[in-house]
Amino acid sequence: MGNMTRRAEIAEKMQKAANIKADPWENILPNISKGSVIPVISSSFRLEQIFHELVEDDVSTVVEELIAEWAKKIGYPMQDSYNLAQVAQYYFVEQNDDPSARTAILNYLKKFLWNMANTDVDDLALAAGLESRIESMRFSDLVKELDYPKFPEGTEDPLRILARFPLPIYITTSQSDFIERALEAEGKTPCTQICFWSGEMTNIPKEHRTNREFSPSVTNPLVYHLYGLEEYPQTLVFSEDDYFNFLIAMAEDNDSQNPKIPLYLHQAIGESQLLLVGYQLSGWDFRVLFRLIMKFRHDGFSPRGMLIQLRSREYEPSNAKMIEYLNRYFGKKTFDIDWNDAGSFIQKLWSKWNTLRQDQS
């Protein structure tokens, strides 16, 4: 309870330091009504919920703690053991870029979750029965089997709330299908598409082949995995080299008719209001994502976006100068920053959306 109070105080101080003049809700709600909002969901967002018990302070994030544990396990020799891009880079080099190394972090997460479940899950027999199948299971399948994440009584899953909005497009940098599962739970039929940035693959299921003619809708929404999907290791973006190669592939993609990212998604990114959920502004996943997004945005025409970031060891509320700088920097890029908890932001957005719908009915 004390930690929650402390986090609320930090968020309030950060929001005051931000000194955002415009009310972001004025734009988001009408754009939801038009279906022109695109949530862009980080991998960390779901991991923070699954492993939330790992962190008890207000400095580290869950993902930083997980990566630091993995770094210790593989003998990472540098100081920045919480940085996934650099830890993964070290591991891939040590493994001579063996293709199987690309799923090592996901395998680590599976084993970590299973070990955690053995002390937490109500059905110990269930956890024990899964042990022999862990290697062959997807991380998202194991999460479902063990009934994670676990939320406090009376708290709704924020990913389910996001899936409930009448929106036709979701983008994610997660390598797992968590948003698809949330959409299906809300009675929708998502279409999973993957960015084959390292080259189109052969012998993949028809439903995952790039569909350049797809027309997303509220009931049949697009879920676009920008940094790959765990079934296809060649598509995964984890290490520093991965991020550089991903950016190079995007920069060198000169096919105006059939680009790696479909044209309809190019257009939607440029014309829609983007909600970037659960990122750290200093993370490789965010920095590369933001560069790519800005390539598709239109100065003076694209709606202002929102960055709903994770709490971080870097952005202390006492450092008002840094907060002011970041808000000015992203403000010039037509993005506002919300320093509150991402889950709380989604809950508030849903509450305001419900109120608007009731007023209009």
DSSP secondary structure letters along 169-218: EEEE--SS-HHHHHHHHTT---EEEE--TT-PPSS--GGGS--TT----S
Q: Which residue has the tokens 């994770």?
A: 310
Instruction: Tell me the one-letter amino acid at 163.
Output: A
Boundary-marking domain end, from 145, 179, 212: 145
Boundary-marking domain end, from 145, 171, 200: 145
Are 68 and 206 found together in one domain?
Answer: no
Average pLDDT, the chain: 87
| 301 — pLDDT class (breaks 50, 70, 90) | confident
Angstrom distance (rounded) from CA 177 to CA 346: 19
For residue 12, the cross-strand partners are none
| 20 — pLDDT class (breaks 50, 70, 90) | very low
DSSP letter assigned to residue 323: H
CB 331 within 8 A of CB 4: no
| 317 — pLDDT class (breaks 50, 70, 90) | low
Are 113 and 73 found together in one domain?
Answer: yes
Determine which helix (DSSP H) or strand (DSSP E) holds 305, and give its type and residue range.
Answer: strand 305-309
Task: With CA atoms as reference, report the closest residue to 200 among 253, 239, 242.
Answer: 253
Instruction: Show the domain range for 307.
Output: 12-51+157-360
Are 230 and 337 found together in one domain?
Answer: yes
Order across the sheet with 37-41: list the strands: 191-194, 222-225, 169-172, 37-41, 273-279, 305-309, 335-338
Angstrom distance (rounded) from CA 11 to CA 17: 10
| 121 — pLDDT class (breaks 50, 70, 90) | low
User: What pTM was computed for the model?
Assistant: 0.90
**Number of separate helices (H) and strands (E) present in the chain:** 15, 7
Instruction: Tell me the one-letter amino acid at 252.
Output: E
Are 33 and 70 found together in one domain?
Answer: no
- Average confidence (pLDDT) over 229-254: 95
Boundary-marking domain end, from 83, 113, 145: 145
For residue 169, the cross-strand partners are 222
Domain-embedded: residue 346: yes
